[in-house]
Amino acid sequence: MAEPLHLSVERLATPLGELVILADEAGRLRAVDWTDHEPRMMRLLRGHYGAGGFTLAPARAPSAAGSALARYFAGDVAAIDGLPVADFGTAFQRTVWSALRAIPCGETVTYGALARRIGRDGAARAVGLANGTNPVGVVVPCHRVIGSDGSLTGYGGGIERKRWLLAHERREAPPARPSS
- Convert 103-122 to b/e letters by CB count within 10 Å (16 or more is b): bebbebbbbbbbbbbbebee
Q: From residue 112, how far is each of 46, 54, 116 by CA, in Å? A: 30, 35, 6
Please return the burial class of 15, using the count of CB atoms within 10 Å of its CB with bins 0-12, 13-18 and 19+. Answer: exposed
Give Cα 65 to chain centroid, integer Å: 12
SS3 state of residue 59? coil
Q: Are strands 5-14 and 54-58 parallel, antiparallel or unpaired?
A: parallel
Q: Is 142 a catalytic residue?
A: yes
Of 142, 146, 165, 166, the catalytic one is 142
CA distances from 100 to 46, 48, 63, 119, 127 (A): 24, 20, 23, 14, 10
Active site residues: 142
